[in-house]
């Protein structure tokens, strides 16, 4: 089985990114042939500074490597180093309708946030995303729940291409974690944790120091009542229960049973301690990896050479 996924180099990586994507990447190395890329071309579809994008690309690469992504066990590269992605995007545009792209929720959300220019690149973002995956004939795409619509479009594009030109592309399946697919903002639990649209105090970053994590979790919005239990009227506590469930690797029911007689303060302290321990190994390894940009560049270049060998064959077909 071949697995492919890409990660944006924009913004600081947070707990939601780590649970929903990065841990899946690491696990994927044991489940099949894993191919992962930092999607710097996607990052150019909204306003950006070139120097800042280069720095954030290295930041993202260092976090992934610190999380135990192993270039000896996967193909790890920078999207912009493999021009087959953009060439295949153009070919796939011939089997993608304007109407489909216009219905993409993320395009509407991001376009509404742009004050000066809504780029054509932002509109075509899902086609480039499809090319990213289809270039490698990947069987599976680990993504967060917010990417479900894009994966469905990707599958439609591949199926339409095959129907017109013969079986050339693999129609991929998405892999969305059953628990932890949508980690919510600690201050606004109705919104997904995000580096662009979320609150600073409600976002736990992978590289946060322990005291910062403790402060954010202890000030997390809670709900009426005092029971540590999930429910539609308890989005704040439900979010913390799900986070602790993922971090500890136990069912949410077990968390509710353990803290059945606990007060919110006691529960939050346990959540903060668990998150701190969960992220500590990555934070500790990150500094040394990020400091060696030459090594990061060499790793990304070596991965790009392996990736091009696969993507070029698909493009030739």
The 10 Å CB-count burial string (b at 16+, else e) for 180-204 is bbbbbbbbbbeebbbbeebeebbbb
Q: What local confidence, expressed as pLDDT, does residue 117 receive?
A: 82
Q: What local confidence, expressed as pLDDT, does residue 231 receive?
A: 87
Q: What strand order describes the sheet that includes 2-7?
A: 74-78, 33-38, 2-7, 140-142, 173-175
Q: What local confidence, expressed as pLDDT, does residue 253 receive?
A: 94
Determine the 3-state secondary structure of 272 from DSSP: helix
Q: What local confidence, expressed as pLDDT, does residue 148 receive?
A: 82
Q: What is the pTM of this model?
A: 0.90
Q: If we measure between CA atoms, which residue out of 33, 39, 32 comes closest to residue 6?
A: 39
Rounded Cα gap, residues 226 and 99, in angstroms? 48
Copy the structure tokens of residue 33: 């042939």
Q: What local confidence, expressed as pLDDT, does residue 158 receive?
A: 97
Helices of type H across 97-147: 98-102, 105-113, 120-134
The series of mean pLDDT values per 10 residues for the chain, 317 residues long, is: 93 88 91 96 92 96 97 97 97 94 81 77 93 97 80 95 96 78 88 81 95 95 84 91 94 93 92 97 96 98 98 97
Report the Cα–Cα distance between both ends of the chain, in Å, rounded. 20
Q: What local confidence, expressed as pLDDT, does residue 21 receive?
A: 86
């Amino acid at each position: 089985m071949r697995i492919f996924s890409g990660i944006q180099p924009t913004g600081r990586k947070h707990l939601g990114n780590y649970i929903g994507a990065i841990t899946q990447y690491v696990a994927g190395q044991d489940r099949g042939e894993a191919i992962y890329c930092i999607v710097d071309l996607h990052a150019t579809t909204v306003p950006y500074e070139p120097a800042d994008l280069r720095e954030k690309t290295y930041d993202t690469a260092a976090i992934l490597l610190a999380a135990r992504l192993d270039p000896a066990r996967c193909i790890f590269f920078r999207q912009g180093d493999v021009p087959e992605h953009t060439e295949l995007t153009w070919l796939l545009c011939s089997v993608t309708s304007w109407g489909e792209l216009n219905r993409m929720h993320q395009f509407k959300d991001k376009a509404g946030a742009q004050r000066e220019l809504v780029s054509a690149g932002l509109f075509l973002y899902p086609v480039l995303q499809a090319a990213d995956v289809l270039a490698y004939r990947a069987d599976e795409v680990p993504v967060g729940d917010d990417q479900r619509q894009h994966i469905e479009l990707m599958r439609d594009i591949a199926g339409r291409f095959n129907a017109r030109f013969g079986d050339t592309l693999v129609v991929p399946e998405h892999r969305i974690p059953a628990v932890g697919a949508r980690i919510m903002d600690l201050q606004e639990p109705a919104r997904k944790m995000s580096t662009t649209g979320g609150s600073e105090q409600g976002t736990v970053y992978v590289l946060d120091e322990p005291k910062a994590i403790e402060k954010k979790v202890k000030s997390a919005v809670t709900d009426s009542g005092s029971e540590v239990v999930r429910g539609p009227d308890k989005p704040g506590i439900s979010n913390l229960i799900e986070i602790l469930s993922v971090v500890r690797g136990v069912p949410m029911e077990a968390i509710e049973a353990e803290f059945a007689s606990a007060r919110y303060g006691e529960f939050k302290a346990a959540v903060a301690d668990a998150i701190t321990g969960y992220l500590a190994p990555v934070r500790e390894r990150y500094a040394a990896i990020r400091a060696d940009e030459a090594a990061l560049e060499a790793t990304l270049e070596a991965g790009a050479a392996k990736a091009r060998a696969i993507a070029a064959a698909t493009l030739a077909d």
